[in-house]
Chain A
Amino acid sequence: MAAGIIEINDSSFDAEVLKSDMPTVVDFWAPWCGPCRAIAPLLEELAGSYQNKIKIVKCNVDDNPITPGKFEIRSIPTLIFFKDGKVFEQIVGMVAKAKLEETIKKML
């Protein structure tokens, strides 16, 4: 995994996301999902440019059924932006980097 993006799981979700001291973006993905793999480089770039301002983490929906269930995820990629432990914004599907950046800026 590239620098800046850590892989979280059902048991680390609370600590890594809800109790995070930085706004956190969770990328719900799976290895079988083409669009998820396609947006991965964009997220890595953003993790680099917003280092120490936001945290970007990945949650594999195959290995972790509980967290995606809690947020009723039926479609991936889904990105959920968390601020102070609450959902700030949810983006479903592939979107342009500019749109992601815009959402990050709103959240900061």
Chain B
Amino acid sequence: MKKADYDLVIIGGGPAGLTAGLYAARARMKVIMLEKITPGGQILVTDWIENYPGFPEGISGIELVQRMTDQVKRFDLAVESAEVSALDVSQPIKKVTLTDGNEVTAHALIIATGASPNPLGVPGESKFSGRGVSFCGTCDGPFFRGKVVAAVGGGDTAVQESIFLTKFASKVYLIHRRNEFRAEKILQERAFANEKIEIIWDSVVTEISGLTNVEKVSIKNVKTNETRDLAVAGCFIWVGTRPNTQFVGDAIKVDENGFIIADVNMKTSVPGVFVAGDVRNTPLRQVVTAVGDAAIAVASAEHYLENLSR
């Protein structure tokens, strides 16, 4: 077997990357995890996680990250703060180029770079980002104490975070383009029972406006085409995610939304390249599914490396 810097490079340090790191370190692989900012990923912006088993009262996102990070440290996982700019997976030894210009090589890769919130793509959204437009309830919610805010979306994140916002906001308009939510039923029940939440069905936001900060959102009912303005101080956007795959190029097969396609063993279209977590074209994006993916991806990588050395 030709020499590479590592057996395995794990790209991304959210729950999937950290779990892959845990399993790979325990398998005594020569492994490194690359994380561009700091371990955690999207759960850092999650106020409270109630559906990850083992925490009967629930656990905050940051606390769960801290525990996962402590756990990989116990097994001496090498973690480097580095952002990947490009991959070359055309050869058996894969080349990972970093934004600082350095390169690392490995026999196998696990891509666990997760996903980022989708923007709405309406006028005013980027102009007022950080000035009332937000993608993070736990970061920004308390700035809206006693104020009226809008929230957009209908999945778990939108419904759960809207409930969180009612701790601070005097009222939350929850705007959803359909006439039912996709969120967990228990979350829906809590939202329906919350007097501070007014749900606006079948509607989309067409514009976010104001002088220096958000003052109103314009909405349109998609069934009646009726339009109206809501006076709000903030607009929280939770309309799904897009994969963090800018560095992947077109060497690895992705679905129509850019999520990386894999089989049940987390194998991508390229031998030796595996995927785990939200960046995969998976039917469910949760912490619990991300960590499951990661364990399978490491087992597959281990199998691949064994065959290489034969």
> A39–B138 contact, CB under 8 A?
no
> B38–A75 contact, CB under 8 A?
no
Q: A37-B62, A38-B44, A72-B212 are in contact. Are A95 and B142 (CB under 8 A)?
A: no
Q: Which of B37, B39, B140 contacts A75 (CB 8 A)?
A: B140
> B83–A96 contact, CB under 8 A?
yes
Whether B114 sits at the interface, judged by CB under 8 Å, is no
Whether B4 sits at the interface, judged by CB under 8 Å, is no
**A98 to B36, alpha carbons, bound, how many Å?**
9
Q: How far is the CB of A55 from chain B (nearest CB, A)?
A: 22
Q: A38-B38, A39-B37, A94-B37 are in contact. Are A74 and B132 (CB under 8 A)?
A: yes
Q: A98-B83, A98-B99 are in contact. Are A38 and B143 (CB under 8 A)?
A: no
> A94–B44 contact, CB under 8 A?
yes
> A74–B131 contact, CB under 8 A?
yes
Q: A94-B37, A95-B37, A96-B81 are in contact. Are A74 and B44 (CB under 8 A)?
A: no
> B213–A74 contact, CB under 8 A?
yes
> B83–A72 contact, CB under 8 A?
no
Interface size on B, residues (CB 8 A): 32
Interfacial chain B residues near A37, Cβ < 8 Å: 62
**A87 to B8, alpha carbons, bound, how many Å?**
44
> A97–B136 contact, CB under 8 A?
no
**A94 to B39, alpha carbons, bound, how many Å?**
12
> B138–A33 contact, CB under 8 A?
yes
Q: How far is the CB of A76 from chain B (nearest CB, A)?
A: 6
> A36–B139 contact, CB under 8 A?
yes
**A30 to B136, alpha carbons, bound, how many Å?**
14
Which chain B residue lies CB-closest to A73? Answer: B143
Whether A103 sits at the interface, judged by CB under 8 Å, is no
Q: How far is the CB of B238 from chain A (nearest CB, A)?
A: 15
What residues of chain A have their CB less than 8 Å away from a CB belonging to chain B? Answer: 30, 32-39, 41-42, 61-62, 72-78, 92-98
What residues of chain B have their CB less than 8 Å away from a CB belonging to chain A? Answer: 36-40, 43-47, 60-62, 65, 81, 83, 99-100, 129-132, 134, 136, 138-140, 142-143, 212-213, 234
- The 4 A-B pairs of least Cβ separation, nearest first, read A34-B62, A92-B130, A34-B44, A75-B130
20 inter-chain pairs at a CB distance below 8 angstroms, sorted by A residue, are A34-B44, A34-B60, A34-B138, A37-B62, A38-B39, A42-B38, A74-B132, A74-B134, A74-B234, A75-B134, A75-B143, A92-B129, A93-B130, A94-B37, A94-B44, A95-B37, A96-B83, A97-B81, A98-B99, A98-B100
